[in-house]
Amino acid sequence: MVWSLGGPPKLHHFVWRACKGSLGTLDVLYRRQIRNSSVCTICGAERETIIHYLFYCKHALNIWNYSEFGALIAEAPHESFADLFCWLVSKVEKPQLRVIMCLAWASWHCRNKVIFDGDNDVNGVQVAMGFVKLCEDYDVYNVKVGGRVCVAGSAAPSNTAWKPPEQQFVKVNVDAYVPGNAGVSLGVVIRDENGALLCVAVQKTGCRWQSDYAEAAAARYGVEVASRLGYAYVVLECDALNVVRAVAENQQGAAPIFTFDEDIRRISVVFSSFKCCHVRCVGNTVAHLVARWESEINSERVCMNCSPKVFNLWRNLI
């Protein structure tokens, strides 16, 4: 639940640290023998625990009294933040839970402003409103640019080794090679249900893409080659999880990388059946090697019906 809250990653990290009890409050530092006292320097409470500062200290009280969640927080268990968080999960929906965590995050920010910057006049309510707006804007931005709000843990299980496709299908493995001072190379390996090499291809581009763009370009090149060769039942497989998700889940967005994904979906219409799946790097070794073959810029090398002997010969040219 922590990592699927939505909002910026910094919010997830803050909540995780609070649940693990690792926020640097005076009570934590005192128990680690780093500080000589656990007394709250702002309000004089006997112990500056995580619960105290996030919910009951001076600036925190201002935030919670102004919010609609004050009564709910008063009912929650206070043995630890983890207990409080789990209790809230059972009481409110995820959007409300995210707002509550934003308010707790704002309380922590106000505490740090007072202690480290000496800003005793910090307006906790105003800070909290800004934090909530930040989280809302972050999710809206992700929807417009990324096509969806990213939620951890949504990835499908990945293959750890290469496996042959189903009967009648060919498997198209792709990978990209991004050298430091040259154009990106795209590698494609096509094998049948028996694992026999049907086609090995490499294309070197003059573009200097970053790795995520290069992987998406390799996937597009893979379906282009499969389409040119007339295969009807195709499984596209690569080790770039973001590419697999975008294609499999039909993600759309304004980011340039989605141009590659749209091309993949457009080209794949010619196939009778098309699937896209993820494999870990160890299962994508052949495509990884092929992407490193020498090829002139904006040209390609294609080898059809490769035998292992021929493939090994070509691999030595890397």
CATH number of the domain bearing residue 266: 3.30.420.10
Within this chain, do residues 87 and 198 fall inside the same structural domain, yes or no?
A: no
CA 216 to chain centre: 16
| Coil/strand/helix, residue 148 | coil
For 31, the token pair is: 């128990």
CB 289 within 8 A of CB 306: no
Q: Which of 256, 258, 218, 253 is nearest to 238 (CA)?
A: 218
What's the confidence (pLDDT) of residue 267? 93
Tell me: do 198 and 130 sit in the same domain.
no
Spatial separation of the C-alpha atoms in residues 45 and 51, rounded to whole Å: 12
* Segment 140-171, tens digit of pLDDT: 776 665 544 444 434 445 677 899 999 999 99
Q: Is residue 152 domain-resident?
A: no
Whether residues 89 and 221 fall in one domain: no
Residue after which a domain boundary falls, among 146, 180, 203: 146
**One-letter amino acid identity for 208?**
R
Query: CA–CA separation, 123 vs 120, rounded Å?
Result: 9
Same domain? For 177 and 290 the reply is yes
Domain co-membership, 86 together with 185 = no
Report the 3 state secondary structure along 82-133.
HHHHHHHHCCCCHHHHHHHHHHHHHHHHHHHHHHHHCCCCCCHHHHHHHHHH
Q: What percent of the chain has pLDDT over 90?
A: 29
Mark whether 187 and 250 lie in a shared domain: yes
2 lies in some domain: no
**Measured between alpha carbons, how far is 259 from 218 in angstroms, rounded to an integer?**
13
**pLDDT value at position 224?**
95
Across the range 237-256, mean pLDDT stands at: 80
Say if residue 131 is in the same domain as residue 180.
no
* Same domain (yes/no): 178, 288: yes
Q: What is the residue range of 204's domain?
A: 170-315
Per the domain annotation, does 156 fall within a domain? no
Residue 140 and residue 22 in one domain: yes
Q: How many separate domains does the chain show?
A: 2
| Spatial separation of the C-alpha atoms in residues 78 and 101, rounded to whole Å | 15
**CB proximity list for 111: less than 8 A, separation 6 or greater:** 42, 53, 57, 59, 60
Confidence (pLDDT) at 170: 95
